[in-house]
């Protein structure tokens, strides 16, 4: 046989079937699952961050509202206005604390225990003895002398530290036997 006959016996070249898009290879499935999981957890983090910022903004708006109320009432009776401001600020701080520690004994804390909780849970760099005394025992006094501006700055910083801190920050630990909080720190 000569080479021309051999070439004639060869079959024509057949192209393979075109590669389809479905089903994708295993690597694409893994990538899709990882992307969906990333979107899910990233979305949850973004929503939680947005909610914390929104709650912080509402608490700060409430704090500014009671401060403005104090500033307008101070012209009439400054002692009563200061006492009302201290009580209202304490109320806002307790509400913020209850948002962060809903199943704790925060609502029943008073006096030095309340101050220990404030120091253990948030930023208290601006909390001096005068402010601490006003927050712990101010509502039980007929008159109170406290710098409302400093108290306002403290309240804003404490609220911001509660809402905008990292999750791994130190928080008071729950006492499992009593349901209360273990707080340590110096007394006012």
Looking at the predicted structure, is the pLDDT value of residue 74 above 80? no
Judge if pTM exceeds 0.75.
Answer: no
Instruction: Give the integer Cα–Cα distance in Å for 9 and 22.
Output: 37
User: For the chain, which residues make up each domain, given as ranges?
Assistant: 54-165+178-182
Residue 173 φ/ψ, nearest 5 degrees: -95, 145
Q: What percentage of the chain has pLDDT greater than the value 70?
A: 87
Cα torsion angle, 131, 133, 138, 144, sign: negative
Q: What is the pLDDT of residue 20?
A: 82
Q: What percentage of the chain has pLDDT greater than the value 90?
A: 43
Q: What is the pLDDT of residues 120-166, one digit of tens each?
A: 988 888 888 899 989 888 878 888 888 899 999 999 999 999 887 75
* Mean pLDDT, rounded, of the chain: 84
Let me know the angle formed at the C-alpha of 171 by 46 and 130, rounded to the nearest 5 degrees.
115
Segment (H or E) for 136:
helix 129-137
Q: What is the pLDDT of residue 4?
A: 84
Beta bridge partners of 181: 174
Q: How confident is the model at residue 172 (pLDDT cuts 50, 70, 90)?
A: low
């Amino acid at each position: 046989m000569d080479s021309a006959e051999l070439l004639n016996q060869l079959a024509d070249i057949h192209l393979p079937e075109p590669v389809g898009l479905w089903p994708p290879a295993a690597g694409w499935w893994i990538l899709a699952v990882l992307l969906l999981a990333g979107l899910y957890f990233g979305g949850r983090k973004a929503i939680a961050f947005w909610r914390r910022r929104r709650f912080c903004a509402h608490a700060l708006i409430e704090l500014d509202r009671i401060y403005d109320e104090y500033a307008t009432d101070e012209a009439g009776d400054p002692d009563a206005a200061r006492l009302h401001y201290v009580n209202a600020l304490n109320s806002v701080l307790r509400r913020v604390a209850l948002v962060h520690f809903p199943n704790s004994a925060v609502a029943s804390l008073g006096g030095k225990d309340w101050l220990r909780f404030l120091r253990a849970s948030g930023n208290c760099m601006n909390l001096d003895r005068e402010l601490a005394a006003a927050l712990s025992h101010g509502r039980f006094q007929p008159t109170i002398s406290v710098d409302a501006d400093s108290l306002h700055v403290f309240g804003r910083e404490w609220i911001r530290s509660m809402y905008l801190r990292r999750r791994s920050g130190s928080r008071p630990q729950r006492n499992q036997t009593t349901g209360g909080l273990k707080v340590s720190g110096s007394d006012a």
